[in-house]
Chain A
């Protein structure tokens, strides 16, 4: 049952092969059995999940079943869910029970999907290895000595170890695609504005975007059908007609123009990863795609630009965690300033504090123009690179991450090395474009992700292109050993 796709689970529920309660109990049992070894979840609440499942069963009985009704979904702990502890991976919010639902959570509730639990993540989504979580690092199910990637490492590990059929995640600089790559999953970061950010705890508001993390492109399409859509509570959410991402997902891709950016195949890329991406390209050639060379000349600036803009926004977004109204407050303090300082000193981890410091610095009087404003200008250049590229091709293909999953602790002490993990993913966030990562091979039994980047609102196309690859290959069907 743990290997069934969302479609198969949906059909199983409809045919009454199993109930939602049975299905939820099945995954809760797996959680009990395996979560300790990979630490993918921060909060599990069996009673709540089972209550939701039994409500789902009633709805299925009434014949009002939606595609995901009754299916347990793991939710990244960045999404506020009413009555659930919502920590964002931080000590700062360890005691925070959300009084409200994020729009994404509300949408899953409305079709009566089951909340299976809240997944572990890098603290405030800042990290590429899930080592910055207050709740301990998540382990990669393919090799528990390795990291799962981050920041959505809990969601990635949970789905990879088949502890959940699918999960939500968020991506600010690669936090869906890089862990999907490192855990052998299909993950989609949609166009900025496609999925509401309301109730999704902000890291860098102009870059944050939620998306699904699943075993296949088809599952991602089903998840995105629920998650996407305009939300009047998010001013950056975009008003456009809702699509059904399952429509046309099997369409042939003959004649598709795939652009290969030379900058994605230069220094820093593991040659073994490169080989696997080349195999992927060849597979697409066989499927009738045309390969064109393109260039993204400013891609090398994306990391420096990102590490100005994201910390700038984060430094401001995280100001609300001051110990005054909710969350952590230091035990003893002399006065207001002392309370602020100790609360934030004790409540935030090192990486979060590092980024608050950087962000505060780049926004300071006298540095603003040289850093923040300059970064915004380069951000526009990076976007322009993409719009030029999309005149030559329909979709861009490259690696999702420069390497496979690395050992826990390997890069923890070297932030710059860690930041390089997102070298192929960050530019799409800066441009607001959709990007997808899907498994394309293994190196020493560790998955390699291949990335597709599309033009704005081309999610249906990306899912179609990925699905056609998956109809013809089996990489997405592989699962790590030890979780059967």
Chain B
């Protein structure tokens, strides 16, 4: 039987603010347990939440980036349940009226684009964590993370494969970093996905029962977990079984999913509007100010690169794949290098070197200013593209200047017509057989001749000029 896979994703994005969402305590990661636990984090008697305006601004930025409606009025609600890492006995979240309404995100699947609809995004506070094994038979509570701001982004069930789910997650991950609302550190849990998976008979209108895979914090795990879960559900249904709505966990060690709790065991969270916080009202003026301060979004930049610099869609995607790459590219352009060459160098030589060394472009030892010097030398024909690769190796992580390296390695290109003509004449004389071949129609011989010229010039002859001159000569 053939099956349709239906996937929706809820992502918890930790917002990059200095302080927590409802208190002045530091929102930074780690530290001694409870070093960032103020009286509000500890839920002391009598303390009250005060909303961090910066978290609101982050949510607005996200809403604008996915073309969503920003709610003029949204409400904070209490989600009530008991757990030691939840000091108040309730989490402040948004339930009925979230700050960000319906929007969308476009993901690339090969050559195709697919729209994933965003249902909503709401602000909430994170919980702390339990620390086990500190003392025999006891658990510790670390409330450093309690109250750090989260934006929970919920999609419609628009994805239909593990690949699409991963592609969405990656796109979202890039976007939230692009607009500066999240540092994207997945190891620290700053970007975690709950993935809802269901299957249905191909073509069925009615959705199947879903199971929610909680807390996936790597793209690899999303892929593995969804693949495993889809197979599990299909096998079960094909064996005549039924799917029970439930929350499940993915175990990266076994690569399997297992049930955490079923719907019947789910809490009744007794949501109600938090009386300690007034409804959050956002004016159009505020939205306008934030909009004006926002960078160009990835898709806007992509369109511009194609239009303004004639980059291919593929290259434009590469440059706008994340904000650091885009910034590096923009830095290169400030040195008046050609956009096409800049894009080529980033996407080929720079990327492959970064990959080899497993480092991020943020930590690239070769600064844009220096790479720009190298590209300029290609543009002004001082060196060939091939010679430039040698220079690239030399300047990668050293203080040397581009011109010194070119000089030292003797890579300066010969662009003097007379000089090239002399070499060319000599080569034609020495390779009469090849000339004959060419004239009898073997085009290959042309390239062989160029090769001979390059060899004779020790690679320094400007290949373009060689080609042009050779063509002229052979016409006669």
Interface residues of A (CB under 8 A from B): 79-80, 86, 88, 93, 96, 98-100, 102, 197-202, 204-206, 232-236, 312-313, 315-316, 318-320, 322, 324-326, 336, 340, 360, 363-365, 368, 372
User: Contact: A322 with B82, CB < 8 Å?
Assistant: yes
Contacts of B82 in A (CB 8 A): 319, 322, 340
User: Contact: B270 with A316, CB < 8 Å?
Assistant: yes
A sample of 20 inter-chain contacts (CB < 8 A) reads A79-B46, A80-B45, A98-B44, A198-B48, A199-B46, A201-B45, A202-B46, A206-B275, A234-B48, A235-B51, A313-B272, A316-B272, A318-B89, A320-B88, A320-B89, A325-B141, A336-B84, A364-B268, A364-B270, A368-B272
Given the interface pairs A316-B270, A368-B272, A372-B272, the reply to whether A363 lies near B80 with Cβ below 8 Å is: yes
Contacts of B141 in A (CB 8 A): 324-325
Contacts of B271 in A (CB 8 A): 363
Contacts of A99 in B (CB 8 A): 39, 44
User: Contact: A236 with B45, CB < 8 Å?
Assistant: no
Given the interface pairs A206-B275, A236-B276, A236-B278, the reply to whether A325 lies near B43 with Cβ below 8 Å is: yes
Q: Which of A88, A200, A236, A316 contacts B89 (CB 8 A)?
A: A316
Contacts of A340 in B (CB 8 A): 82
Q: Which of B43, B45, B87, B275 contacts A88 (CB 8 A)?
A: B45
B189 within 8 Å of A by Cβ? no
B49 within 8 Å of A by Cβ? yes
Within 8 A of A (CB), among B40-97: 42-51, 78, 80, 82, 84, 87-90
Residue of B nearest to A199 (CB): B46
B277 within 8 Å of A by Cβ? yes
Identify whether the interface residues of A are mostly helix, strand, loop, or mixed.
Answer: loop
User: Contact: B50 with A233, CB < 8 Å?
Assistant: yes
The docked-state distance in angstroms from the alpha carbon of A201 to that of B276 is 12
Given the interface pairs A100-B44, A232-B50, A363-B80, the reply to whether A319 lies near B272 with Cβ below 8 Å is: no
Contacts of B42 in A (CB 8 A): 325-326
Contacts of B78 in A (CB 8 A): 316
The docked-state distance in angstroms from the alpha carbon of A178 to that of B197 is 58
User: Contact: A205 with B276, CB < 8 Å?
Assistant: yes
Most B CB contacts (10 A, CB to CB) among A96, A312, A322, A340 go to A322
Given the interface pairs A100-B44, A235-B277, the reply to whether A316 lies near B90 with Cβ below 8 Å is: yes
Q: In the assembled complex, how far is the CB of residue B97 from the closest CB belonging to chain A, in whole angstroms?
A: 14
Contacts of B44 in A (CB 8 A): 80, 98-100, 326
Most B CB contacts (10 A, CB to CB) among A100, A102, A197 go to A100
Within 8 A of A (CB), among B1-38: none
Residue of B nearest to A124 (CB): B45
Contacts of B51 in A (CB 8 A): 235
Residue of B nearest to A88 (CB): B45
Interface 1/0 per residue, B193-232 and A, CB below 8 Å: 0000000000000000000000000000000000000000
Q: In the assembled complex, how far is the CB of residue B86 from the closest CB belonging to chain A, in whole angstroms?
A: 9
Within 8 A of A (CB), among B391-437: none
The docked-state distance in angstroms from the alpha carbon of A176 to that of B51 is 30
User: Contact: A235 with B50, CB < 8 Å?
Assistant: yes
User: Contact: A324 with B87, CB < 8 Å?
Assistant: yes
Q: In the assembled complex, how far is the CB of residue A379 from the closest CB belonging to chain B, in whole angstroms?
A: 12
Residue of B nearest to A320 (CB): B43
The docked-state distance in angstroms from the alpha carbon of A372 to that of B78 is 14
Within 8 A of A (CB), among B439-468: none
Residue of A nearest to B83 (CB): A336
In the complex, besides A100-B39, A324-B141, 19 extra interface pairs with C-beta distance below 8 angstroms are A79-B46, A80-B44, A99-B39, A233-B48, A234-B50, A235-B48, A236-B277, A236-B278, A316-B80, A316-B270, A319-B80, A319-B88, A320-B43, A320-B88, A320-B89, A322-B89, A324-B84, A325-B87, A326-B42
Contacts of B278 in A (CB 8 A): 235-236
Contacts of A336 in B (CB 8 A): 84
Residue of B nearest to A313 (CB): B275
The docked-state distance in angstroms from the alpha carbon of A322 to that of B88 is 9
Given the interface pairs A320-B45, A364-B268, the reply to whether A235 lies near B89 with Cβ below 8 Å is: no
The docked-state distance in angstroms from the alpha carbon of A318 to that of B43 is 11
The docked-state distance in angstroms from the alpha carbon of A204 to that of B43 is 16
Q: In the assembled complex, how far is the CB of residue B300 from the closest CB belonging to chain A, in whole angstroms?
A: 36
Residue of A nearest to B81 (CB): A319
User: Contact: B45 with A86, CB < 8 Å?
Assistant: yes
Contacts of B88 in A (CB 8 A): 319-320
User: Contact: A201 with B50, CB < 8 Å?
Assistant: no
Residue of A nearest to B49 (CB): A235
Given the interface pairs A236-B276, A312-B272, A363-B80, the reply to whether A93 lies near B45 with Cβ below 8 Å is: yes
The docked-state distance in angstroms from the alpha carbon of A229 to that of B98 is 31
The docked-state distance in angstroms from the alpha carbon of A172 to that of B46 is 15
User: Contact: A96 with B45, CB < 8 Å?
Assistant: yes
The docked-state distance in angstroms from the alpha carbon of A169 to that of B89 is 27
Interface 1/0 per residue, B242-277 and A, CB below 8 Å: 000000000000000000000000001011100111
Residue of B nearest to A207 (CB): B275
The docked-state distance in angstroms from the alpha carbon of A236 to that of B50 is 10
Residue of A nearest to B43 (CB): A320
Interface 1/0 per residue, B271-306 and A, CB below 8 Å: 110011110000000000000000000000000000
Residue of A nearest to B90 (CB): A316
Q: Which of B43, B46, B50 contacts A80 (CB 8 A)?
A: B46
Q: In the assembled complex, how far is the CB of residue B142 from the closest CB belonging to chain A, in whole angstroms?
A: 12
Q: In the assembled complex, how far is the CB of residue A290 from the closest CB belonging to chain B, in whole angstroms?
A: 37
Residue of B nearest to A204 (CB): B275
Contacts of B47 in A (CB 8 A): 198-199
The docked-state distance in angstroms from the alpha carbon of A470 to that of B154 is 62
Contacts of A320 in B (CB 8 A): 43, 45, 87-89
Minimum-distance CB pairs A-B, first 4: A319-B89, A206-B275, A363-B270, A205-B275
Contacts of B90 in A (CB 8 A): 316, 319
User: Contact: B268 with A365, CB < 8 Å?
Assistant: yes
The docked-state distance in angstroms from the alpha carbon of A80 to that of B45 is 8
Q: In the assembled complex, how far is the CB of residue A125 from the closest CB belonging to chain B, in whole angstroms?
A: 12
Most B CB contacts (10 A, CB to CB) among A79, A99, A235 go to A235
Residue of A nearest to B269 (CB): A365
Q: In the assembled complex, how far is the CB of residue B439 from the closest CB belonging to chain A, in whole angstroms?
A: 88
Q: In the assembled complex, how far is the CB of residue B234 from the closest CB belonging to chain A, in whole angstroms?
A: 32
Within 8 A of A (CB), among B136-166: 141
Q: In the assembled complex, how far is the CB of residue A377 from the closest CB belonging to chain B, in whole angstroms?
A: 14
Q: In the assembled complex, how far is the CB of residue A261 from the closest CB belonging to chain B, in whole angstroms?
A: 27
Q: In the assembled complex, how far is the CB of residue B137 from the closest CB belonging to chain A, in whole angstroms?
A: 11
Q: In the assembled complex, how far is the CB of residue A375 from the closest CB belonging to chain B, in whole angstroms?
A: 11
User: Contact: B276 with A102, CB < 8 Å?
Assistant: no
Q: In the assembled complex, how far is the CB of residue B177 from the closest CB belonging to chain A, in whole angstroms?
A: 31
The docked-state distance in angstroms from the alpha carbon of A312 to that of B87 is 19
Contacts of B48 in A (CB 8 A): 197-198, 233-235
Most B CB contacts (10 A, CB to CB) among A96, A233, A319 go to A319
Contacts of A102 in B (CB 8 A): 46
Residue of B nearest to A309 (CB): B275
Contacts of A313 in B (CB 8 A): 272, 275
Q: In the assembled complex, how far is the CB of residue B275 from the closest CB belonging to chain A, in whole angstroms?
A: 4
